[in-house]
Structure 1
Amino acid sequence: MIIIRKSLALSGLILCLLAGMLPMLKVPIKGNWNLYQTDTALFFITYMIIGITALLFFVRQLTGYRLMTRVAAVWYLISISAVFFKINNYFGWGFADRLLSKSIHMRWGWIVYLVGIALLLLSVKKVKQIEE
């Protein structure tokens, strides 16, 4: 039997939804970029995964919700590594990439997104059912 802690799930969903609007990268001259400005495909896939997770939570499809929380966690790892590698190998030239990687920095939006994903993962608990 799967148990969902609703307060953790709702706060995790809200944090994940807000994290896309928070600053994810600090770009010189242009300022802070959120997830949409960083990469639009990454933004839409992230919000699609979070939207499906929220839908499964609200219709009480517990096994699907549990699966989507794990998919969201894997997608977080893929997205942060993709942004990191894009920063460090943007042009394909050694000098320009080293200069760019020193000037672009990750911002605190990734931490908020990580906390939201952690709350989603902690909201699901599988319990063995005792038969009488």
Structure 2
Amino acid sequence: MSPIVPSLPPHLVQLGFDYVLAVEAGDDATASRLAPEVEQLPGLLPAIAELVVFPVTALSDDTEPCADSFVLDEVGVLYLMAIREWATHTPAAAAPCIARTIAHFVGQVLADAPADVLRALRALRDEQVERAHAVVETVVALHR
């Protein structure tokens, strides 16, 4: 299975994760400052959700296919579809809720403990921004 959205440029990866971090941290000033730009890009938070959820739930080439792996893959697809629909139909109202949903997923699935959600989100942000820069560098190198 391949990702639903194409690669995001590094500045949008940074923006999306920074918004999720601000909402999760209760930093209303930062969330309010970032909200107008996030709301103008209704696909941004679903794309950030995909960066977080897809690697955990999608079947990979080295996954031993079984009923559980297929169910996990399908749950991930449904989760991402629901977030995308939510963002499409009510982008302004959905943004903080989608951010909290992403943070909840990280807390339940990826963080070592519930108190580590912000640290896990920061690590994911840094990793994904680095990957986005690598994609840009690769594309630029291919077009030389």
Output the TM-score relative to the length of structure 2: 0.31
- 1 or 2 for the larger relative contact order (CA 8 Å, sep ≥6)? 1
**Bigger proportion of residues as helix:** 2
